[in-house]
Amino acid sequence: NPARIVRELDPEKEMITRKDRYSDTEKMNRVLDASEKEFLDGNTLWGWLRTFVAPKKELP
C-alpha cells in the first residue's frame, strides 16, 4: 500500500470536510453563479457574433 501517514491530525482542532463545505448547495450555486458572471462580464451577444464574422488573428 503506497499510502503512508504524513502527520497525525489534532482531534481537538475543528476540521472542515468536503461534506461540510459543499453541503449548502444553494450557497454554492450562488457563489458559482457570481463567479461565472464576473468572469463573463463584458461579453456581449454582438461580440460573440463578431467572432464568427471577423475573428481576431491568433497570436503565435
Answer yes or no: is 45 within a domain.
yes
Whether the predicted pLDDT of 57 surpasses 80: no
Answer yes or no: is 38 within a domain.
yes
Average pLDDT of 5-15? 92
Task: Kindly give, in sequence order, each residue whose CB lies less than 8 Å from that of residue 22, ignoring residues fewer than 6 positions away.
Answer: 28
Answer yes or no: is 35 within a domain.
yes
Domain assignment of residue 35, given as a range: 24-49
Answer yes or no: is 57 within a domain.
no
In the structure, what pLDDT confidence band is assigned to residue 60 with cuts at 50, 70 and 90? low
In the structure, what pLDDT confidence band is assigned to residue 24 with cuts at 50, 70 and 90? very high
Share of the chain above pLDDT 70, in %: 95
C-alpha distances (whole Å) from 53 to each of 17, 25, 27, 45, 48 are 48, 40, 39, 13, 9
Structural domain total, the chain: 1
